A and B are shown apart, each in its own frame.
Chain A
Amino acid sequence: MRADEDQKALDKELKRWEETTLREALKSLPERRAEFLTTSSRPVKRLYTPLDLAGKTDEERVGKPGEFPYTRGIHPTMYRGRLWTMRMFAGFGGAEDTNRRFKYLSSHGETGLSVAFDMPTLYGYDTDAPEAKGEFGTCGVAVSSLEDMKILFAGIDLRAVSTSMTINSPASAIWAMYLAAAEAQGAPLSSLRGTIQNDILKEYQAQKEWIFPPEPSMRLVVDTFEFGAKEVPLWNTISISGYHIREAGATAGQELAFTLANGMEYVRWGIDRGLKVDDFANRLSFFFNAHNDLFEEIAKYRAARRIWAREMRDTFGAKNPRSWLLRFHAQTAGVSLTAQQPEVNLVRTTVQALAAVLGGAQSLHTNAYDEAYQVPNEAAARLALRTQQILAHESGVPNTVDPLGGSYFLEALTDELEEEAYRYFDRIQGLGGVIPAIRKGFFQQEIANSAYRYQREIEDRERVIVGVNDFVVDEQPDFEVLRVSEASLKAQTARLSKIRRTRDSKKHTAALDRLRKACESDDNTMPFILDAVRAKATLGEICDVMREVFGAYEEPLLY
């Protein structure tokens, strides 16, 4: 009753303001446009008040940091206890080149490693495969063998760092190489910390780096869950990624909804395997985009934490609060960065990184200003890292937990995004679940529609992009072009052919045969992949075995 009366009073007060102060103001200065939209084309009201938050109590909606539903953050102290991990996505050329870049970034204050692989590696081909022609090291580092992996981390103590690896279809093989390289350093598996992306569902939806059809791919993912829970307990065996979905053109709401729907699909598969939800849920991690629209992005992260906590606790029955936590890495939006006036990208990235920090990210990559031209050169990568350091040490933002919590606008936006996500969950379920919806092209179509709308808004100049459709200057940017050296390619192919020549071929063939049998059976493939890696099987050889057994995926067509 009491609350009801409060509402009425508030409502009356707002009406009064609208009819007096506001009306006067609009008379002398009309607003700039009829409708104000977020980056995701979501309408934003002129003013938000407590009236927008009616329906739920503060405790249900927001709560306290470190407590269910974790809207305000997963830790009670957030960045007062520990800053986010500054993790710069890096990789180019051969293992030696990237090893040098890792050391360079670490020497400038980076606090976690993140490996970008080259295209052949991402698709499960060795550097000397015909499919790899021209692609060596241009988009990331080439890793074809255990030997490469050892060189990549030479002089880096794998017990002491946490390493994230952006690898999907061939994730289990690459992970096995990392584990074997750590073993060779004398690091016990139980001490290793890091993440493999290993998120195959978003490949069919957005990134398109699949190799096999969905079902065997999901089986490989669950194999890593099971193996990791037993053998590498500190490792995040998946990073469920909205980043790529967003970069392909999705809205914030779609990014949120599709990522969490995928997350729940992995949980279902894990449970179907016979795993207990609390045995693997705490090793699921997330990866979100940090786009231009400051508040919409912050709201997205907060909604994500709340939905995940609720679904894990109430739908999947997880008992351990650690299973309820949505921990995430963020990367600023590469797709927002322009070829025109590239320095301006530094400013965009700063605003985006601020959103990630205000949204409670556990780790962050900031893009370099030469994003539209090449993988970053050294100087550009350092500047990007400096952006994070300024937020951490100069801006004052990390001094308090969830500084924007309680903002009428932000809380209302958080609720709105949450509702949008649930509407999508219903639609996905109506299509028979995530994988049937992929086969029907549902996600792909939704993303394409949003991308098209956004592009139209820019072409029609309804949306201003600085330097692209307004504030244009005519100048050619000029910076140092990063080139992969011919020598790196030679070294890499020489290394590969030596491995093929000198390894114990009986052992090698036997290990691959055992792997084939494991793939054909229901056995967990991880131990067999690890054995094959130890027997010096290359990435391409391991993936070829899987290609033979699992076949290839054909994507549904959209027009």
Chain B
Amino acid sequence: MEVIYTGLRQSPEDIVEAAIQEDVDAIGLSCLSGAHMTLFPEVVKLLKKRKSGDILVAGGGIIPEEDIPKLKKAGIKVVFGPGTPLREIVAFFETAGKGA
């Protein structure tokens, strides 16, 4: 697995542009600040605008349980909240990689 690390404090535009140029299979977004309801859907929206809606978007961070269904509806494939065991996350990306 290869991971492109884009650094901290990236705007949705930066992230989408990097994803397209790097032709990634998936984007992992981490947000602990509470801005996930704005920033995560924005990434999906921009991807669609760039005809790249097929790129999988996953998210995690300090995300209240009640926000997860809304995020999924906005096109975030999976959301991992506080306390998720690491192996659960690894397992997800491994199966996602195989197109499951």
Contacts and interface: CB of A to CB of B under 8 A. Distances in A.
A and B in contact, CB less than 8 Å: yes
Interface of A: 119, 123, 130-131, 133-135, 138-139, 208, 338-340, 372-374, 459, 468, 476, 481, 484
Nearest to B41: A134
Contacts of A130: 11
Interface residues of B, number: 18
Contacts, number: 42
Interface string B27-45: 0000001111111000000
B99 interface: no
Contacts of B8: 208
Contact of A139 (B33, B38, B82): B33
Contacts of B11: 130-131
Interface string B1-39: 000000011010000000000000000000001111111
Q: Give chain B's interface secondary structure class.
A: loop
A340 B34 contact: no
A134 B62 contact: no
Contacts of B35: 119, 133-135, 138
A476 B33 contact: no
Interface of B: 8-9, 11, 33-39, 62, 64-66, 81-83, 86
B5 to A, nearest CB: 9
Given A135-B33, A135-B34, A481-B64, A339 B39 contact: no
Contact of A372 (B66, B83, B86): B83
B34 A373 contact: no
Give 6 closest A-B pairs by Cβ, nearest first.
Answer: A134-B38, A339-B83, A138-B34, A134-B35, A339-B82, A372-B82
Interface of A is mostly: loop
A459 B39 CA distance: 31
A153 B26 CA distance: 46
Contacts of A138: 33-35
Interface centre among B8, B9, B37, B82 (most CB of A within 10 A): B82
Contacts of B34: 135, 138-139, 374, 484
Interface centre among A131, A134, A135, A459 (most CB of B within 10 A): A134
Contacts of A481: 64, 66
